[in-house]
């Protein structure tokens, strides 16, 4: 009989969440599995359409049966569409590059699903994320730390945690040393998903083609327009702003003696601005929609380590409070391709614990 509290595991049908459930079961928790139904009615290939598709539900159900735990499917379709898909479409309409995983974690997993878990009498919600949740005794705050496996660390997409959410969250894979160890545990547990490939696509986009998705959902984002240089001179044409992000070179079909990159996207005029590599370098940025984790907030300049995209090493910077809760960040050294719509995530100067984060609004030189 279980001597530890009840925990609901968000089971996506993948190896990570499956192993998270198995590890917590080993540790003596009373484990329940829940898979979120988020695929949309317009999705025709639900069998293998990624995380939380029909195929994922079937895999999660088989894993739960193997582990001997109850498994439920809950319908989050409309809520997911409102909080994640609608924002995704809106950001592209405004010429920005969104991160849908951040909003899914913020609103769907660690808000709505955690609430459902608590309604079922669970003390905790657990996921297969690679991150660590710990309590900082000196600050009397819950903290979010990078996973032991820095290559798999997912704290960049988890900066919106509140203190109550962290208090009721478990992430057992934060202590796993690498993905090979995760798969080895899955094999020990006899789980058929032990060699299942990691999902690399946007879960609500069939075939991974987000531009096809946007062509249906927001046709204005795939309308041809002008490409101009940094002086405003027309240099060519583009296929639609949805095909471009800051720093991109592909699809910049402009004759030039030097490589040209996207340095600006103006949705109002349907214009792409291109420039050289030096034009991509920015001294700082302004971010809003800020959330604090490691600290309650700041009232003056604070040296930090900053990440402005998922696959990058954190770099030194100084952050200061801006207007209306925004942040002004200045890099120690100029950074390339600061992209509005993406996340700024701030770490302590040792690069280990998340201080907080926000959404990049604009860059400045």
16 is in an annotated binding site: yes
**Is residue 52 annotated as a catalytic residue, yes or no?**
no
Q: Is residue 241 within 8 Å of 270, Cβ to Cβ?
A: yes
At 44 the pLDDT is 45
12 is in an annotated binding site: yes
22 is in an annotated binding site: no
At 340 the pLDDT is 98
Alpha-carbon distances, residue 169 vs 113, 127, 264 (angstroms): 11, 8, 39
At 172 the pLDDT is 98
Q: Catalytic: which of 51, 52, 101, 104?
A: 104
90 is in an annotated binding site: no
Question: Could you tell me the pTM of the whole model?
Answer: 0.93
Task: Encode the chain (365 residues) as per-residue pLDDT tens digits.
Answer: 557 899 999 999 999 999 999 999 999 999 999 999 987 655 444 444 455 566 789 999 999 999 999 999 999 999 999 999 999 999 999 999 999 999 999 999 999 999 999 999 999 999 999 999 999 999 999 999 999 999 999 999 999 999 999 999 999 999 999 999 999 999 999 999 999 988 777 888 866 688 999 999 999 999 999 999 999 999 999 999 999 999 999 999 898 999 999 999 999 999 999 999 999 999 999 999 999 999 999 999 999 999 999 989 999 999 999 999 999 999 999 999 999 999 999 999 888 999 999 999 999 99
Distance CA 270, CA 265 (A): 8
For the record, the structure tokens of 226 come out as 């002008």
At 47 the pLDDT is 47
At 45 the pLDDT is 45
CATH 2.60.40.1930 fits 223-275, yes or no: no
Going from N- to C-terminal start, the domains of the chain cover 6-208, 223-275, 280-364
Residue 353 has what DSSP assignment? B
CATH 3.40.47.10 fits 280-364, yes or no: no
At 302 the pLDDT is 97
At 312 the pLDDT is 94
- Calculate the CA dihedral of residues 351, 357, 363, 365 and round it to 10 degrees: -40
Q: In Å, how far from its chain's centre is CA 136?
A: 24
Q: What are phi and psi of 226, to 5 degrees?
A: -90, 145
At 49 the pLDDT is 45
Distance CA 194, CA 361 (A): 40
Paired strand residues for 125: 8, 169
312 is in an annotated binding site: no
346 is in an annotated binding site: no
17 is in an annotated binding site: yes
At 207 the pLDDT is 67
Report the largest interatomic distance among the alpha carbons of the chain, rounded to a whole angstrom.
73
Q: Quick one: residue 16, left, alpha or beta (phi over 0 = left, psi -120 to 50 = alpha)?
A: alpha
Strands (E), 124-194: 124-126, 131-136, 141-146, 169-170
Class of domain 6-208: alpha beta
**Is residue 101 annotated as a catalytic residue, yes or no?**
no
171 is in an annotated binding site: no
């Amino acid at each position: 009989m279980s001597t530890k509290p009840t925990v609901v595991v968000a089971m996506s049908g993948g190896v990570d969440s499956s192993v998270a459930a198995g590890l917590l079961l080993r540790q003596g928790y009373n484990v329940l599995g829940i898979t979120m139904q988020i695929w949309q009615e317009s999705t025709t290939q639900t069998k293998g359409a990624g995380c939380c598709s029909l195929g994922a539900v079937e895999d999660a159900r088989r894993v739960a049966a193997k582990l001997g735990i109850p498994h439920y499917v809950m319908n989050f379709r409309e809520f997911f569409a409102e909080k994640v898909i609608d924002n995704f479409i809106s950001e592209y309409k405004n010429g920005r590059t969104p991160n849908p995983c951040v909003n899914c974690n913020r609103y769907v997993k660690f808000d709505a699903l955690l609430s459902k878990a608590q309604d079922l009498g669970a003390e905790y919600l657990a996921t297969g994320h690679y991150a660590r949740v710990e309590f900082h005794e000196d600050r009397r705050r819950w903290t979010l730390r990078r996973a032991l496996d820095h290559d798999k660390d997912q704290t960049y997409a988890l900066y919106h945690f509140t203190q109550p959410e962290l208090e009721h969250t478990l992430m057992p894979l934060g202590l796993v040393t690498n993905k090979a160890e995760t798969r080895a545990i899955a094999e020990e547990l006899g789980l058929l998903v032990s060699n299942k490939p990691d999902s690399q696509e946007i879960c609500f986009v069939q075939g991974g083609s987000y531009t096809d998705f946007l062509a249906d959902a927001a046709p204005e984002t795939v309308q041809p327009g002008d490409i101009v240089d940094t002086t405003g001179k027309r240099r060519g044409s583009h296929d639609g702003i949805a095909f471009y992000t800051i720093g991109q070179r592909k699809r910049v079909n402009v004759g030039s003696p030097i490589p040209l990159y996207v340095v600006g996207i103006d949705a109002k005029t349907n214009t792409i601005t291109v420039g050289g590599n030096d034009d991509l370098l920015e001294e700082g940025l302004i971010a809003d929609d800020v959330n604090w984790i490691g600290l309650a907030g700041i009232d003056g300049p604070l040296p930090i380590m900053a990440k402005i995209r998922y696959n990058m090493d954190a770099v030194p910077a100084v952050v200061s409070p801006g207007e209306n809760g925004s942040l002004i960040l200045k890099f120690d050294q100029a950074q390339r391709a600061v992209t509005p719509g993406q996340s700024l995530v701030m770490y302590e100067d040792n690069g280990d614990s998340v201080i907080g984060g926000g959404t990049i609004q604009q860059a400045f030189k």
